[in-house]
Structure 1
Amino acid sequence: MSAGEAIRFDDTRLSIEDIVRVAGGAPVVLSDDAAFRARIARGADFLDRLLREDGIVYGVTTGYGDSCTVPVPAHLVGELPHQLYTYHGCGLGALLDPAQTRAVMAARLASLCKGYSGVSVALLEQIVRLLDAGLLPLIPSEGSVGASGDLTPLSYLAAVLCGEREVLRGGVQVSAAEALRDAGIAPLRLRPKEGLAIMNGTAVMTGLACLAWDRSAYLTRLCTRITAMASFALDGNADHFDETLFSVKPHAGMQQVAAWLREDLGYTGQVERNGKRLQDRYSIRCAPHVIGVLADALPFFRSAIENELNSANDNPIIDPDGERVLHGGHFYGGHIGFAMDGMKNAVANLADLMDRQMALLVDPRYNNGLPANLSGTKGERAAISHGLKALQISVSAWTAEALKLTMPASVFSRSTECHNQDKVSMGTIAARDCLRILELVEQVAAALLIAVRQGVWLRGQATLSHRVPPVIRVMHEDIDCHCGPMIEDRRLDLELRHLLDRIRSHAWQFDERAEKPRSTD
């Protein structure tokens, strides 16, 4: 699929990659299939008929949550959706960034397109218009307990659809009313259930989870490459990744990581030890066992996230074919909460692994002949040069913060809303925690790229082109274009930020065979 190809939304299944592409700016189209649009319309028409026949529908003819026993007079039913998003306008914390906001909007659109939410085609089209016009609701990240859905953050989407609150347009904050007017978009007047359908679902945690999965999968591959470079720099023993060795412990993800390491290191099954340690320390020897946990968990995480993405996850569910209103709890984000809690644990372990590799690289007691702190300074100036000493301290700080955040959020349920929401998922907090951990782990990875690049250079600078395995040489040369050898001490923050940008844009593309790494630059 080309970068410019639109993502089509209908009632068919979407992937994590579809949401990631929308988050990155890919255009969105709503299917013009007549059967799909007729199914959406049937749900809205069924609700209209119920209202005409004095049917009782939660959140349509009643109050919300614990107020479900409060009947709403017929002449006020039309105002109820406006009331819902208005009183939920109490979010705080950092605003979701543009990519996160687009992911959230796409996740909500995906759920509504399943045809079980009783919304109109016009509502779906309005979400698409906002995405196409680049009008992104300013959504505070804090205020959701993950059931009854992401009510408070999604209220900001509902309000903007109606021309209220604020949007980000071209990087500038403007009022939604002004932005819609300038774009020629008429504010929406929500139908009776549409406010509830927009807000009473898992779109925030699910959209964020899609982004988290994508970043985690990339880090799995990048951390493996960093480990290979660290192993080479430390003059490690590649026998630790032997295929026969790993055949007797059949975790598929772990075996894949070991295979990547063999390819990266050019391992053929024969190693000339020449005095090498029989067993390297755990952060090298057991790297497949650490990275492999995440590699093995990613398929499960994908299943949980994509099932949630492709679900109708609001309440009540409208069955347009059976003409039934089904009251349940599909807004509950337990699967996303569990996936995010598990993912953040496995990802933080990558930081811990790389932190230990960094400690080995800079310590002359353990780095097998490399200079202290990987300093490249020689002569009398070596006495005042400190190489990567401070960078190792920063790596420890980032790792400690990542590990601290691994406390599972999903077990901290709080009873809310007059004990109507007495067991909640905390899935959105788990997703936010996971993204923060990912930021920290990416920072650790950026630092390790500098360290392993320096270590590889120091280990083989005399005969670099001959001694270094092809994959590691190519990666080393690419890093060298952005961060050269440290001969004299220098500030590293600008180089770290540049490497972070490259990590987050997936600049290094890993082919199926590791000996063909390439940069997107």
Structure 2
Amino acid sequence: MQQGPGSAEAVVFNGSPLSVDDVVALSTRQRLARLDAAPAFRERIERGAAFLDRLLREDGVVYGVTTGYGDSCTVSVPPELVAELPHHLYTYHGIGAGRFLTPEETRAVLAARLASLCQGASAVSWELLVQLEQLLVHDALPLIPAEGSVGASGDLTPLSYVAAVMCGEREVWFEGSRQRAADVLPRIGLAPLKLRPKEALALMNGTSVMTGLACLAWRRAAAVADLATRLTACNVWASAGNAHHFDETLFAFKPHPGPQRVAARLRDDLQADQAERNEKRLQDRYSLRCAPHVIGVLEDALVWMRQTIANELNSANDNPLIDPDGERVLHGGHFYGGHIALAMDTLKNVVANVADVLDRQLALLVDTRFNHGLPSNLSGATGPRAAINHGLKALQISVSAWTAEALKQTMPASVFSRSTECHNQDKVSMGTIAARDALRVLELTEQVLAGMMIAARQAMALRQRLGDAGRLPPALADFLAQLSDDVALVEEDRALDIDLQRLLTGLRAGRWEPYHG
């Protein structure tokens, strides 16, 4: 059960490391954001802003402060116009398109941007951090179009919607409806900001959209690996498969920890040490026998992806950076989202492969040539009425369609770099597109998982009806009982979309995580 806001310890922002789990908890409002009130933290933030102010008084040249943006960096901005430049940056980047980010996604984005700015290298004011914190606290969420970032020079266009809202422009999602930011800010005790020099760059010139989305994608992918393992155990048992394919000694000879972990869970679920060997069928087909090798790749990838995403989350990633200790302006390219692009391109590949192996398992279960005695299409109808009932025939078609679409999405986004902005941004990461792709692959794969839950419920019950596979192991018996609470046995044909959506809702709420729930 989710905790309500305030019922758990706040996530404190002070430049110290945050985790992927922190961002996920903020995205669901299980925890709230809080800026650290320690004087040393605030002093560090204010020191960077003060140094930049002094540099401007001394006629220093700072990109994006006393110059134009991007390819316009050779254009000097007259001193009397410097204060107007931030407004122009978020204004002309107001060209996003596509769907709006969901509330969960938007909270993750705000958390990621706040984490970056709290590193103390962006020369923003304390008041800006407070404004960003309060948007999270009061759940006043900028409406951010999902499309328009190439993932280098950061997520400029989508983050312009954050900057604009903080200045009282554009729209927010607040208290269940779409409202003008100018109307909402006073209601939560905030006045529109007048951005200081460099503050629009600090808000927009970073990787926070792709990073926030990556945090959510990582969490959902971990749940996919968990449930896919349990469903594989169900499918092995229901198809009278060979539990000894997951032998501990066998897996010791290939020391990848992910497959070893998946095999161990399958052994436990199937009580492999008590299972009889099937001497007539020594080897199951690959989708069952090699399931640990498929799901285990995802398990292993999750380890390094978590660290990669966390590193980006805890980075200062705008340009230029301001070193408040050495009093230096550091021009560079930390806005480049290559690490998130790699992680998300990899994630969508390994997740889609899990969807594919489950789809192949279902193809075996519904086919009387391969399911070892189960009825065609896992139909529960008997007697004369069996002739007019079709069981899970259409479910198998839908699962195949979702799987094919997930696999189609696995083309790496990062290889489609485009030269943009007068060839200033001539090599870009496409990390935000990769993250959005990953979320779509996860959405499709979750639909596959929900379909497989219906199939597992049906197949295990029908195998029990046959009475030829021995006792259902306790873990699978408990799982079947849970499934049976949500999905009735399909005996007469019925539409299954309501069952599917019910299972999807529970899955996305974290209900169906058998090893971590």
**Unaligned regions of 5+ residues in structure 2, if any?**
none
Give me the CA root mean square deviation: 1.4
Q: Which among 185, 189, 196 is matched to residue 184 of structure 1? A: 189
Q: Which among 63, 68, 71 is matched to residue 66 of structure 1? A: 71
Q: Distance in 2 between matches of 1:394 and 1:466?
A: 31
Spell out the pairing of 1:96-245 with structure 2 (5 A cutoff): 96-245=101-250
Q: Distance in 1 between matches of 2:156 and 2:314?
A: 19
Q: Distance in 2 between matches of 1:100 and 1:276?
A: 51
Which secondary structure state, in structure 1, belongs to the residue aligned with residue 65 of structure 2?
A: coil
Q: Which among 441, 447, 457 is matched to residue 453 of structure 1? A: 457
Which secondary structure state, in structure 2, belongs to the residue aligned with residue 400 of structure 1?
A: helix
Q: Which residue of 1 aligns with 2:252?
A: 247
2:83 corresponds to 1:78 = yes
Q: Which residue of 2 aligns with 1:416?
A: 420
**Unaligned regions of 5+ residues in structure 1, if any?**
513-517
1:464 Cα offset (Å): 11
Which secondary structure state, in structure 2, belongs to the residue aligned with residue 410 of structure 1?
A: helix
Alpha carbons of 1:365 and 1:463: their partners in 2 closer, same or farther (altered >3 Å)?
Answer: closer
CA offsets 1:100-133 (integer angstroms, 9 cap, x no match): 0000000000000000001111111001111111
Q: Which among 13, 16, 19 is matched to residue 20 of structure 2? A: 16
AA aligned opposite 1:369: G
Equivalent pair of 1:457/1:464 in contact (CA under 8 Å): no
Identity %: 64
Q: Distance in 2 between matches of 1:61 and 1:345?
A: 44
2:433 corresponds to 1:429 = yes
1:4 Cα offset (Å): 2.8
Equivalent pair of 1:200/1:315 in contact (CA under 8 Å): yes
Q: Distance in 1 between matches of 2:169 and 2:511?
A: 38
Q: Distance in 2 between matches of 1:435 and 1:349?
A: 15
Alpha carbons of 1:509 and 1:390: their partners in 2 closer, same or farther (altered >3 Å)?
Answer: closer
1:182 Cα offset (Å): 2.2
Which secondary structure state, in structure 2, belongs to the residue aligned with residue 467 of structure 1?
A: coil
Q: Which residue of 1 aligns with 2:327?
A: 323
Alpha carbons of 1:325 and 1:491: their partners in 2 closer, same or farther (altered >3 Å)?
Answer: same
1:275 Cα offset (Å): 5.3
Q: Distance in 2 between matches of 1:231 and 1:433?
A: 31
Q: Which residue of 2 aligns with 1:384?
A: 388
Normalising by structure 1, report the TM-score. Answer: 0.96
Equivalent pair of 2:269/2:476 in contact (CA under 8 Å): yes
Equivalent pair of 2:463/2:469 in contact (CA under 8 Å): no
Equivalent pair of 2:214/2:435 in contact (CA under 8 Å): yes
Q: Distance in 2 between matches of 1:196 and 1:508?
A: 42
1:5 Cα offset (Å): 2.2
AA aligned opposite 2:431: G
Which secondary structure state, in structure 1, belongs to the residue aligned with residue 283 of structure 2?
A: coil
Q: Which residue of 1 aligns with 2:287?
A: 283
Alpha carbons of 1:415 and 1:375: their partners in 2 closer, same or farther (altered >3 Å)?
Answer: same
CA offsets 1:47-91 (integer angstroms, 9 cap, x no match): 000011111100011000000010111111111111000000000
AA aligned opposite 2:284: D
Number of residues of Structure 1 aligned to a counterpart in Structure 2: 512
Equivalent pair of 1:235/1:368 in contact (CA under 8 Å): yes
1:274 Cα offset (Å): 4.9
Q: Which residue of 2 aligns with 1:363?
A: 367
2:91 corresponds to 1:95 = no
2:62 corresponds to 1:28 = no
Equivalent pair of 2:390/2:493 in contact (CA under 8 Å): yes
Which secondary structure state, in structure 2, belongs to the residue aligned with residue 29 of structure 1?
A: strand
Q: Which among 258, 263, 269 is matched to residue 268 of structure 2? A: 263
Equivalent pair of 1:333/1:425 in contact (CA under 8 Å): yes
Spell out the pairing of 1:508-519 with structure 2 (5 A cutoff): 508-511=512-515
Q: Which residue of 2 aligns with 1:393?
A: 397
Q: Distance in 1 between matches of 2:372 and 2:334?
A: 56
Q: Distance in 2 between matches of 1:476 and 1:432?
A: 34
Alpha carbons of 1:72 and 1:282: their partners in 2 closer, same or farther (altered >3 Å)?
Answer: same
Q: Which among 501, 505, 510 is matched to residue 501 of structure 1? A: 505
AA aligned opposite 2:253: V
Q: Distance in 1 between matches of 2:490 and 2:318?
A: 55
CA offsets 1:342-398 (integer angstroms, 9 cap, x no match): 110000001100100110010011000000000000011100000000000000100
Which secondary structure state, in structure 2, belongs to the residue aligned with residue 494 of structure 1?
A: helix
Equivalent pair of 1:449/1:479 in contact (CA under 8 Å): yes
Q: Which among 330, 342, 345 is matched to residue 346 of structure 2? A: 342
Q: Which residue of 2 aligns with 1:515?
A: none
1:185 Cα offset (Å): 1.3
Q: Distance in 1 between matches of 2:12 and 2:483?
A: 37
Q: Distance in 1 between matches of 2:190 and 2:330?
A: 34
Equivalent pair of 2:230/2:514 in contact (CA under 8 Å): no
Q: Distance in 1 between matches of 2:197 and 2:313?
A: 24
Q: Which among 385, 407, 410 is matched to residue 411 of structure 2? A: 407
